[in-house]
Amino acid sequence: MNIYSIDVVIGSLMMGIFAVRILEVHPPACWYLILALAVWVFYTTDHLLDALKGKNRSTIPRHLVHYTNRHLIIPLWLAATIIAGVMAIIKLDLKIIYGGLLLGGLILAYFIVLFFNRKRFPWLLQKELIIGVIYVTGIWMAPLVWYGSTPSGIIMILMGNMILLAWSEGILLSGFELEEDLRNKHTSFATMFGKRVAGIFVTILLIFVISSDVFLFFYGSYSLTIKVSLIIQTSMSLILFLLQFFPEHFYRHQLYRYVGEFTFWLPGLILLV
């Protein structure tokens, strides 16, 4: 599930459900399939680029698997791209299509620059942040269009904190995989700034998310749905804190990856409200 990004796809669907419930909109059922395919295509593109760059010399399992099985994965990747694109054109509003094309163009430009000009644009190598922004923006874009008006401050805070959580998880993974990234000459937050700085920065991000959510929970007059969403984000932060402060318990069998991605399944708990 992790090597082929299936856990990420499930997490994106849970995040989509979270966004839909917070904004109280009613998307067509096909949107969930389009979302799942788009997220899988995005993450698979990243893995394929790393795999093709390292070829069979990579020591990172998911890159080696993607390279070994590229003759099967690439046709599936192409089919998923076409299916998601065609379904979006047929089923979704023009505003969503235009927004998706714009976001897709920015993603394509990012991958091109990242692949060919890493040294010329070093700030683009902070891909944990960029992936976090793309992940949350891509999921929330259609629900915001259906929402039809400027979101309130609390909704903007929830979206911003989700970006910070996605960024934190990416930085945490970069710390766990520092040695592998150095061996394979991959760039990450930890390789750029060091494991200690990465740990301090994640702690700051998570404290900010928890503090803002707890403050809003006790001092804001919000609906039950919003209150539960604040609890969910706080719970996500606490799980990521476990990875941060007890790394030795999560190294074996790459448990940190499963726990990190599972964290983004928690937004689906909004269905209990």
Domain ranges of the chain: 1-149, 150-264
- Per-residue confidence (pLDDT) for residue 115, from 0 to 100: 67
* Greatest C-alpha distance within the chain: 56
Distance CA(187)–CA(24), nearest Å, equals 39
pLDDT of residue 193: 87
* pLDDT digit string, tens, across residues 147-157: 989 899 999 99
Instruction: Quick: pLDDT tens for 163-208.
Output: 999 999 999 998 998 888 788 777 788 888 888 999 999 999 999 9
Q: What is the pLDDT of residue 120?
A: 59
Which residue type is seen at 271? L
For residue 177, how many other CB atoms are within 10 A of its CB? 19
Residue 121: the pLDDT is 56
pLDDT at 117: 61
Specify the pLDDT at position 126: 72
pTM given for the model: 0.89
More confident residue, 57 or 244: 244
Who has greater pLDDT, 140 or 49?
Answer: 140
Q: For 235-259, how does the pLDDT look when each residue is reduced to its tens digit (9 = 90+)?
A: 999 999 999 998 888 887 778 989 9
Going from the C-alpha of 121 to that of each of 43, 47, 115, 133, 266, the distances in angstroms are 21, 20, 11, 18, 35
Confidence of residue 125 (pLDDT cuts 50, 70, 90): low
Averaged pLDDT score across all residues of the chain: 89
- Give pLDDT, residue 37: 95
Query: What digits encode the pLDDT tens for the residues 37-46?
Result: 999 998 898 8
- Angle at which helices 29-54 and 127-147 cross, to 10°: 160
Nearest by Cα to 84 from 45, 42, 46, 37:
37
pLDDT of 52 reads: 82
* Mean of pLDDT values over 110-115: 73
Q: What is the mean pLDDT of residues 129-156?
A: 91
Q: What angle do CA 240, 246, 249 make, to 5 degrees?
A: 105
Residue 243 confidence (pLDDT)? 92
